[in-house]
Amino acid sequence: MADFNPSLVTLCCENSAFLVAEEENLPGVTPVKIPCGGQVEHYHILNAFDQGADGVMVLACLKENCKHFWGNDRAEKKVNYVKGMLENIGINAERLAYSPVAANNEYKYGELVKEMYDKLKEMGPMEGKVKK
Partner 1 sequence: MNAQRKYPPAPEEMTFEPKVLVVGGGASGILSAEKAAELGLSVVLIEKTEELGGKAAQLSFLYQSNLSPSQWLKDKISSLEKNNKVTIYTNSQLEKVNGQVGNFKVTLNIEGKKEEMDIGAIIMATGMDLSSKMPAQVEKGAGSFLSQMEFEKQFTQLASGDSKTFVLVVKEDDFLIGCINALKYSKKLKEANHNVYVFFDEMKVSEEGTEKLYHQVREEGVTFIRGTNNLKIGQEEGKFSLTTIDPQLPVKLAKELVINFDYYIFNEDLLPGADTGKLAEILRVNLGPGGFFQEDNYHTEPVYSNRQGIYFVGACRMPDLLHNVQEQAGAAVNSIYQLSVADVKELMEKTPLIDVIKCAYCLTCYRSCPWNAIDLLYEIEGAAWDGAPYLHPLACQKCGCCVAECPNRAISFPGYTDEDMQKEFKKIGGKV
The reply on whether position 77 binds partner 1 by CB under 8 A is: no
DSSP labels, 84-104: HHHHHTT--GGGEEEEE--TT
CA dist 16 and 20 (Å) reads: 7
Q: Looking at the DSSP assignment, which residues form a beta bridge with residue 100?
A: 60
Residue 1 C-beta: closest distance to partner 1, Å: 16
The reply on whether position 10 binds partner 1 by CB under 8 A is: no
Applying CB under 8 A, the span of 17-25, 35-43, 81-89, 112-120 interacting with partner 1 comes to 35-43
DSSP at 93: G
Residue 58 C-beta: closest distance to partner 1, Å: 12
**x/- map, 36-75, partner 1, by CB under 8 A:** x-xxxx-xx--xx-xxxx----------xx-xxxxx--x-
Q: 49 near 100, Cβ under 8 Å?
A: no
Contact residues: partner 1, CB under 8 A? 7, 9, 15, 28, 30, 32-36, 38-41, 43-44, 47-48, 50-53, 64-65, 67-71, 74, 78
